[in-house]
Structure 1
Amino acid sequence: MMIINIQKHFRNNIRKCFLLFIFLIFFISCTKKEALTSTSFKTNSGWGYTIAYKEKILIKQTIIPVISENKSFATEGDALKVAELVKEKLKQNLSPTVTKKDLILLKIKL
């Protein structure tokens, strides 16, 4: 009887530790991903965006990349869509460059 209770207690503790471990891994992975933040800002002719890591600005984009004209994004939403794309590329350790195809797929007004 005593051995059975000890085994149950041991199994319950193992389960609790395992669940705690899974929770910690999930929490760490979530906070790591959130280290990159994006914000929009108003420019003289439209919108731009910044991407920061731990509150240090890594990228400040005031104009639409890849097009021949120097013009800002028409809407805040357009700026944020491109910012999210760049952020995802950075998270995947890819080059943060944006192509014209990316802008078309995101339906950015050019």
Structure 2
Amino acid sequence: MLFVICQKEQDLKIQSIKVTDGWGYQITNNDKIIIKQTIIPVIRNSKSFKTEKEALAVGQLVVKKLNANNSPTITKNDLILLKIKM
């Protein structure tokens, strides 16, 4: 009996990006941008993250979800748990 497991090569990296009124983040896979987030997701207003630390915390959660083969969607509860100022 032979089992073959194929897994996509992923090299996910997160990087903060400075925007006009705060911070955002981008996630790359093998140096190709796959997610660029310049505003806080799931809130009504279009606001950037207040700090680089906040942007990177949310980006790290997205990477964690992607690595677990889950949807990278961020919920309001995720933001509350990460203590993101909305």
List runs of 5+ in structure 1 lacking aligned partners. 1-31
- For 1:41, give the aligned amino acid: I
1:39 aligns with 2:15: yes
1:65 aligns with 2:20: no
The match for 2:65 is 89
Q: TM-score, normalised by structure 2?
A: 0.88
- Measured on the aligned residues, the alpha-carbon RMSD in Å equals 1.5
The 1:33–1:106 alpha-carbon spacing in structure 2 relative to 1, beyond 3 Å, is: farther
Which protein, 1 or 2, shows the higher relative CO under an 8 Å CA cutoff with sep ≥ 6? 2
Q: TM-score, normalised by structure 1?
A: 0.69
The 1:57–1:84 alpha-carbon spacing in structure 2 relative to 1, beyond 3 Å, is: same
Deviation at 1:37, TM superposition (A): 0.1
1:50 aligns with 2:50: no
SS of the equivalent of 2:57 reads helix
Percent of counterpart pairs with the same letter?
58
Measure the CA separation in 2 of the matches of 1:45 and 1:99.
22
Q: Which has the larger radius of gyration?
A: 1
Deviation at 1:96, TM superposition (A): 0.3
* Larger helix fraction of residues: 1
List runs of 5+ in structure 2 lacking aligned partners. 1-7
CA contact (8 A) 1:50 1:57 kept: yes
Measure the CA separation in 2 of the matches of 1:59 and 1:85.
13
CA contact (8 A) 2:10 2:30 kept: no
Provide Cα deviations, 1:61-96, integer angstroms capped at 9, x if missing partner: 000000000000000000000000000000001000
